[in-house]
């Protein structure tokens, strides 16, 4: 999957947030982490270790988009993130 996108998101007519490909890709990885550990908080290092090297820049943009949309929240020091309630709903709807 090549997650290149323009960094924009749209709302669908049902009111659900439409994610761009890079955001969907990162959210899929986060969902896998969540299912593996049932933990809502993970370090960025663990997340980034699962990004394909060729697409690291796009995945970084996808992660930033998830932060901006409130689907994940950064830790105080920025070294970790947690999945928000909105993020859990987005994972469940995919």
Q: What is the mean pLDDT of residues 23-48?
A: 95
pLDDT in tens, 50-76: 999 999 999 999 999 999 999 999 999
The answer to whether 32 and 42 are in contact (CB under 8 A) is no
**Domain 19-92 adopts which CATH fold?**
Arc Repressor Mutant, subunit A (1.10.10)
DSSP state string for 23-40: HHHHHHHHHHHHHHH--S
Sorting pLDDT into bands at 50, 70 and 90, what band is 4?
very low
Instruction: Give the confidence band of 16 by pLDDT, cuts at 50, 70, 90.
Output: low
Per-domain residue ranges of the chain: 19-92
Phi, psi of 42 (to 5 degrees): -140, 160
Separation between Cα atoms, residue 55 and residue 76, nearest integer Å: 27
């Amino acid at each position: 999957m090549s997650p290149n996108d323009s960094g924009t998101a749209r709302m669908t007519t049902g009111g659900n947030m439409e994610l761009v490909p890079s955001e969907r890709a990162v959210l899929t990885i986060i969902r896998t982490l969540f299912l593996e550990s049932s933990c809502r908080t993970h370090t960025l290092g663990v997340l980034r270790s699962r990004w394909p090297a060729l697409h690291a820049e796009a995945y970084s943009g996808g992660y930033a988009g998830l932060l901006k949309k409130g689907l994940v929240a950064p830790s105080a020091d920025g070294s970790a993130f947690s999945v928000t309630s909105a993020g859990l709903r987005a994972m469940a709807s995919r």
